[in-house]
Structure 1
Amino acid sequence: MNASFANNILPFILAGYAISILVVVIMIVLENRSPLKTISWVLVLLLLPGLGFIFYIFFGQNFRKEKIIARKGLRNHHRINYLAHSQITQLADGHLSKNDIARQPTGIVRLLLNNSSSVVTTGNEVTFLQNGTRKFDALIRELKKAEHFIHLQYYIFAEDNIGNQVKEILKEKARRGIEVRLIVDDVGSWELKSPFYEEMRDAGIEVYSFLQVHFPLLTSKVNYRNHRKIVVIDGHVGFIGGYNIADRYRDGDLNSYGIWRDTHIMIKGDAVNSLQSIFLIDWYFVSQTELSDPKYFPQSEAIGNKTMQIVPSGPDSDWPAIMMGIFQTIATARDYVYIATPYFMPSESVLLALKTAALSGVDVRIIIPEKSDAFITLLCSRSYIREILEAGVQVYFYQKGFLHSKTLVADDRISIVGSANMDFRSFEQNFEATAFIYDKETGIEMKETFLQDQADSEIVLLPEWMDRPFLEKVKESFARLFSPLL
């Protein structure tokens, strides 16, 4: 009887599952994503019955058009748009002096103004912080100087030695009446427990987690994480880059991958207002409170000579702004493009730009870590190496530890540093922020740093790469099928 019942009901269950898979496949196709991403999700659905369907529901839906962060009506957003469109008009009409935007690479400047309203600022001072000790020493020093407000936003905020040190400074500042606001990503900082938040709030700190994930009420928005690392202090000092708040970013992890090699920058000047705008829009999303008081946007005198744009990107924007800026930088390079990235899973357009530049005689070099904190992404990154080597790109494996820097420098004229990795997730799914700096002195400094990292790396030679065990190549190729999903 039971066997008969199972035989009668099983075909209906299988038919229902097949119909649900077909419906999801049609939904994916109708979203008109890139064919690569569409095929990847179809493969997941077919190769992982049941589990693939769950993965798609939780991680696969496209929310870019839905605008996870609604900006309509936000005064800060209108302010950014007004400034950006004003600069676009001035650039088009030729009303800018030779000392302003007109002296910069106008194609990239105009692109970033149009695709993300990334305002151009001049007269900035930029300090590179290329190891964890320098970064945290600078951050702690500036936090202690705060007199009016502190705004922090991190993907990972760990309650360890460095995390507790920063926490105690924030609590002390809040008790003295200084405004302190903190955003942490709910997935990146999943180890933080309720007592952490209660302790911060009891001290007067406003703290929120970004896109909270409540099991079992899990939604597909778990796939859209806030990967930004932003600090704004009194509107005059800002930080942006690759470092989170955790001991391993300063001390490394000798048991796994050694030192942590990363890059951050400290900014003083009007570019800090651009960081502030990004933070306050995210703050509105998590708190439903708009902070538009002019005190959050103080005017700064020119204290340096750096021209730059702070570029946000994420599923709340119409365009993958950072990816487009990187593509344009590579496509217009004439002498060299040097890239450091922990994960190398480029979009098809960026991959083609890299190969085209190398085949055109541009010196293209990429450093990626030999060891990684994510095994699948390491395999996937390696699957791209053969084709870029064949195009003439030089590839290096970093040897001293884990390379986590997200940097690009081209022709001594454009330097890019921020939170975005060279992968699909950073380009299309995560909320990211990256600085585009237009300055020869900065470009030379970044180039020299890259060459120092190159000296600590091992070059990958095509004949030796081709001669690796067949099984390694199979694992890498299989991992690459899922690169748009990682």
Structure 2
Amino acid sequence: MANYARIKKGIVSRYIRRGMILLFEFESLVDVWKLIIGNIIIINIMLSIMIVFFQRRDPKTVWTWLLVLYFIPVFGIFIYFILGQDYRKSKMFKVKEMEDTLHYSVARQERFFAERTKGMESLYIYNYIKLIRYNLNSGASMFTVYNKIAIFNNGRDKFKNLISDIRSAKRYIHIEYYIIKNDYLFDALSKELILKARQGVEVRILGDGMGVRFMPKYKWEQLKSEGIKVGIFFPAMLGWINPRMNYRNHRKIVVIDDYIGYIGGFNIGKEYIGADPRFGNWRDTHLRLTGESVLSLEVRFALDWNYSVKENLFADPKYNINDMYDEFINNLKKRSHEICCVQIIASGPDSSTKQVRNNFIELFGGAKHHIYIQTPYFIPDEAVLSALIVAVRSGIDVRIMIPCKPDHPFVYWATLSWAGTLLYEGAKVYTYENGFLHAKTVMVDSKCACVGTANMDIRSFELNFEVNATIYDEETTEKLENDFINDISLSKELTVEIFEKRGFIRRFKEQFSRLLSPLL
């Protein structure tokens, strides 16, 4: 009985101590709150000076932040520290050995195109030489010729094929996703990955700190105990709370044995296979690549992995790039594979070049007949919007397809507002009604397409790490355009007459969200 009393007394004392600590922390938070309230004007002025004079931002973004700070004086400060800080440090994302080899290969390929451009007038890709060379020079995006592409619009089909490819892996499996959720889809993939790890296949999984924040730690530990390596990009500092909303790794990449690659919009979670009633059918676009372009995906994965885990894969001979230019020339001589030209382009806050955005602008500017766009979020910057307006006014058939329902309310209302701008210019706008549209595709003139992880919004252009495949192939582009045309039958056309009938509340939501566009 005495022991029980001592134990009870100890427990009570422990709770008292914890209560005192919490009370002290509460008092500290109150003091901090009082300090902020008492000095709100000075804090706003200091932040304003920092934003205007010490950060290289777009003027529209500067004005938006000033509006937030002065119209929402207290909470605006917290919003700024969550969304407004600049973490751009390009050196953090580089691996010198890989960079030197890649730049050498790019320089040699650039000379190849420069010396032979005059003799390429009759070739299909001649109309896109400017875009190819731009991607080479500004983004070190190797031009690949021999590839094969399979298109997936349904998550169940995509993951069925992915699991089949995982089962065939002999050397390594590299997986990178923005969102990885703790549900039965992840459990099914984990089971297959564990089996391959036990067979001696090297398995690496890289997730984004925001996108995997709800994954229990024991799940990662279970994979590690089986020999699977796990990396987290910009991990959360406070458990589930991650104050770094910007600079997220939005890429979705899988590479298997240097030969098979996946890129597109599907993440890992039950909603992506249409099993979440909130969204219903999930309409997305994902590519399965085989051929030369897969090596470019592996380079991208290796850079992200090196930053997150500090393991340089290219120091290991089994992941050696060798000379990508030599492989390009050898394949040209062999002509032993299916011709489908692809460039893997990547962009992010680690680069001053808005590679994905500029790729879109060049595609829009070179259009001769039509431009088809599918995107869940349409919040273009001034350059992209101007390129599309010029295209419409030049007689180009511009069609944009967006979702009929929101997954992020402010983004959705801003999307409708910007889509309305193009609608008034003469573009055709459709809202996809058969579930949720998450595809990120651009098709031009049935000749060239761009598919990947980047949305048609400022966040994808400037704040997130993205990767797309630019495809110079008529057959693949026509397949993507046929999917777009089929989706029109499952959509409603948003006409000017319908758009004009919006009520006051909806107009207010759209206009307010539009003002916040640089931050969304």
Contact 2:453 2:467 in 1 (8 A): yes
Equivalent in 214, 218, 222 of residue 191 of structure 1: 214
Structure 2 equivalent of residue 274 of structure 1: 296
- Is structure 2 residue 110 aligned with structure 1 residue 88? yes
Measured after TM superposition, the shift of residue 216 of structure 1 is 8.3
Q: Find the aligned partners of 1:116 and 1:288 in 2 and give their Cα distance.
A: 23
CA spacing shift, 1:253–1:13, aligned 2, 3 Å: closer
Paired letter, 2:484: F
Inter-partner Cα distance in structure 1 for 2:76 and 2:92: 28
Q: Is the 8 A contact 1:124 1:305 kept in 2?
A: yes
1:198-235 per-residue CA deviation (whole Å, 9 max, x = no partner) reads 00000000001110121289886442110100000001
Name the structure 2 match of 1:3: none
Which whole-Å CA distance do the structure 1 matches of 2:245 and 2:118 have between them? 44
Distance in 2, matches of 1:189 and 1:217, equals 9
Aligned match of 1:57 in 81, 86, 92? 81
Contact 1:90 1:96 in 2 (8 A): no
Q: What is the CA deviation profile of residues 149-204 of structure 1, one whole-angstrom value per residue up to 9, with x for unaligned ones?
A: 00000011122111111011111111111100110011011110110110000000
Aligned to 1:258: 280
Q: 1:374 aligns with which of 396, 399, 408?
A: 408
Equivalent in the alignment of 2:272:
249
Q: CA deviation at 1:68?
A: 6.6
Distance 1:466 1:448, change over 3 A: same
Q: 1:150 to 1:104 in 2, by over 3 A?
A: farther
1:310-325 superposed matches below 5 A: 310-325=344-359
1:164 equivalenced with 2:187 (yes/no) = yes
| AA in 1 matched with 2:68 | V
Shift of 1:102: 6.1
Conserved? CA contact 1:268–1:303, under 8 Å: no
Are positions 1:144 and 2:178 aligned together? Answer: no
Amino acid at match of 1:84: V
In the alignment, the residues of structure 2 paired with residue 478 and residue 92 of structure 1 have an alpha-carbon distance, to the nearest angstrom, of 48
Contact 2:210 2:242 (C-alpha < 8 Å) held by counterparts: no
Structure 1 residue 283 and structure 2 residue 305: aligned?
yes
C-alpha distance in 1 between matches for 2:311 and 2:397: 48
Match of 1:485 in 2: 519
1:453 aligned residue: 487
Counterparts of 2:103 and 2:368, CA distance in 1: 32
Alignment size in residue pairs: 474
Aligned residue for 2:313, secondary structure, equals coil
Shift of 1:78: 2.0
Two-structure CA RMSD over aligned residues (Å):
2.2
Distance 1:399 1:116, change over 3 A: same
What is the rounded CA distance, in whole Å, between the counterparts of 2:36 and 2:311 in structure 1?
A: 48
AA aligned to 2:510 is E
Q: Which residue pairs with 1:426 in the alignment?
A: 460
2:60 is the counterpart of 1:26: no
1:87-126 superposed matches below 5 A? 87-94=109-116, 98=120, 103=126, 105-126=128-149
Query: Amino acid of the residue matched to residue 262 of structure 2?
Result: F
Report the residue type matching 2:269 in the other structure: A
Measured in 2, the distance between the counterparts of 1:345 and 1:61 equals 21
Letter in 1 for 2:61: K
Q: Verify the 8 A CA contact 2:363 2:444 in the aligned structure 1.
A: yes
C-alpha displacement at 1:258, in angstroms? 1.6
Q: Identity of aligned pairs, percent? A: 36
Counterpart residue type for residue 27 of structure 1:
M
Partner of 1:130: 153
Q: Which has the larger radius of gyration?
A: 2
User: SS at 1:105's partner residue?
Assistant: helix
User: Letter of the aligned partner of 2:368 in structure 1?
Assistant: R
Q: 1:75 aligns with which of 97, 100, 112?
A: 97
Q: CA deviation at 1:304?
A: 1.8
Deviation at 1:386, TM superposition (A): 2.4
How many angstroms apart in 2 are the aligned matches of 1:217 and 1:454? 39
Shift in Å, 1:294: 4.4
Q: Which has the higher helix share?
A: 2
SS of the residue 2:376 aligns to: coil
Provide closer, same or farther for how the CA distance between residues 104 and 126 of structure 1 changes in structure 2, counting only shifts above 3 A: farther
SS in 2 for 1:223: coil
Other-structure match for 1:360 = 394
Name the CA distance, whole Å, in 1 between partners of 2:403 and 2:371: 18
> For each residue in 1:274-329, what CA deviation from the matched residue of structure 2 results, as whole angstroms up to 9, or x when unmatched?
00000001111011111113433586965321101001110111211001101111
**Does the CA-based 8 Å contact 1:284-1:290 persist in structure 2?**
yes
User: CA 1:96/1:229 → structure 2, altered by over 3 Å: closer, same or farther?
Assistant: farther
Q: What is the rounded CA distance, in whole Å, between the counterparts of 2:487 and 2:394 in structure 1?
A: 25
Partners of 2:180 and 2:304 lie apart in 1 by 17
Take 2:111 and 2:45, find their aligned partners in 1: how far apart are those partners?
A: 48
CA shift for structure 1 position 33: 1.7
Find 1:404's aligned residue among 432, 438, 444: 438
Aligned partner of 2:263 in structure 1 is 240
Q: Where does residue 228 of structure 1 map in the other structure?
A: 251
3-state secondary structure, aligned to 2:92: coil
Partner of residue 213 from structure 1, selected from 221, 236, 242 = 236
Bigger Cα displacement from structure 2, 99-108 vs 386-395: 99-108
**1:391 equivalent in alignment to 2:391:** no
When residues 102 and 464 of structure 1 are mapped into structure 2, their CA distance, relative to the original with a 3 A threshold, is closer
Q: Give, in whole Å, the separation in 2 of the partners of 1:216 and 1:53.
A: 22
Q: How does 1:325-344 map to 2 (within 5 A)?
A: 325-344=359-378
What displacement does 1:414 show?
Answer: 1.1
Q: 1:46 and 1:259, CA in 2 relative to 1: closer, same or farther beyond 3 A?
A: same
Task: Measure the CA separation in 1 of the matches of 2:290 and 2:96.
Answer: 26
Q: Distance in 1 between matches of 2:93 and 2:288?
A: 29
